């Protein structure tokens, strides 16, 4: 859906009182922008004589970041789908004990799916940051600012995704699952923070 929608329409829908797209979709869109910005560095490096020694690596970077961009666009749609599934579960009848049990199970399953989608966004941010770091170190210096933009957008995607993970975890009764996801998110964020800082340090040094 997102691939066929004009960006203006997406923004209007996001700004409206519609329940979706929401913050999770915005996080995924930030990730797609991060991947695209990093890919741009590779595209502006490949074929340049001054960077002949990294041509193969840059072609791999383009392939990797293009795939990440597509993954993030898929996650925009997935976020909308899991949110709608959760809303459907909320609307299930709850008059009898059997109905209450079915609704409870459906909400539990929907909540976990709604958590896993933004969690996947956060994990993919690490991949983008790793590519942005290589781009900042080895890419066309005239495009190094785009590597920095990629890192900033990837970090934004991770932080936005974390908020969506946390709001879902806060409503769960599964203590083991909640503890596991919080611990994994903490590790991801620490790794991402270090990568972002390194990318921006290199970027700012090269910009002068």
Q: What is the pLDDT of residues 34-86, one digit of tens each?
A: 999 999 999 999 999 999 999 999 999 999 999 999 999 999 889 888 888 88
Flag whether 9 is in a domain: no
Looking at the domain assignment, is residue 71 inside a domain? yes
pLDDT at 144: 97
Place of tokens 């890192």: 151
Q: Which residues contact 189 (CB under 8 A, 6 or more apart)?
A: 122, 158, 159, 162
Percent of the chain scoring above 70 in pLDDT: 99
pLDDT at 22: 82
Evaluate if residue 128 carries a pLDDT over 90.
Answer: yes
The total number of structural domains that make up the chain? 1
* 151: containing domain: 20-207
Average pLDDT of the chain to the nearest whole number: 92
In terms of Cα–Cα distance, which of 40, 24, 4, 18 is closest to 131? 40
Distance of CA 57 to the CA centre of its chain: 23
Query: Strand, coil or helix: what is 45?
Result: coil
| Residue closest to 131 by CA, chosen among 63, 50, 74 | 63
**Distance (Å, rounded) from C-alpha 205 to C-alpha 41?**
17
DSSP structural state of residue 96: S
In a domain, 10, yes or no: no
Judging by beta carbons within 10 Å of its beta carbon (0-12, 13-18, 19+), is residue 198 exposed, middle or buried?
A: middle
Structural domain includes residue 43: yes
Q: What is the mean pLDDT of residues 12-38?
A: 90
Q: What is the mean pLDDT of residues 146-164?
A: 97
User: pTM of the full predicted structure?
Assistant: 0.89
Contact 134, 61 (CB under 8 A): yes
Query: Is 170 inside a domain boundary?
Result: yes
Confidence grade of residue 1 (pLDDT, cut at 50, 70, 90): low
Q: Is residue 1 part of a domain?
A: no
Q: Confidence class of residue 89 from pLDDT cuts 50, 70 and 90? A: confident
- pLDDT per position as a tens digit, 156-204: 999 999 999 999 898 888 899 999 999 999 999 999 999 999 999 999 9
Phi, psi of 63 (to 5 degrees): -65, -45
Which domain CATH number covers 87? 1.20.120.680
Q: For residue 27, tell me if it sits in a domain.
A: yes
Task: Tell me: pLDDT of 123 over 90.
Answer: yes
- Of 27, 25, 33, 30, nearest to 80 by C-alpha is 25
Any domain includes 7: no
Average pLDDT rounded to a whole number, residues 93-116: 87
């Amino acid at each position: 859906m997102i691939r066929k929608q004009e960006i203006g329409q997406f923004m209007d829908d996001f700004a409206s009182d519609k329940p979706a797209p929401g913050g999770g979709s915005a996080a995924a869109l930030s990730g797609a922008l991060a991947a695209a910005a990093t890919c741009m560095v590779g595209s502006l490096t490949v074929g340049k004589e001054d960077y002949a020694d990294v041509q193969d690596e840059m072609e791999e970077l383009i392939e990797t970041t293009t795939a990440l961009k597509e993954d993030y666009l898929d996650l925009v749609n997935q976020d909308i789908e899991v949110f709608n599934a959760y809303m459907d579960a909320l609307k299930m009848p709850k008059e009898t004990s059997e109905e209450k049990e079915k609704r409870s199970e459906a909400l539990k399953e929907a909540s976990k799916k709604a958590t896993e989608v933004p969690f996947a966004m956060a994990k993919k941010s690490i991949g983008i940051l790793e590519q942005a770091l290589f781009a900042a170190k080895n890419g066309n210096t005239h495009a190094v600012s785009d590597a920095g933009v990629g890192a900033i957008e990837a970090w934004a995607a991770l932080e936005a995704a974390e908020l969506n993970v946390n709001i879902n975890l806060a409503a769960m009764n599964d203590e083991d699952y909640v503890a596991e996801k919080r611990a994994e998110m903490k590790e991801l964020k620490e790794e991402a923070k270090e990568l972002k800082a390194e990318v921006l340090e290199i970027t700012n040094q090269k910009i002068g």
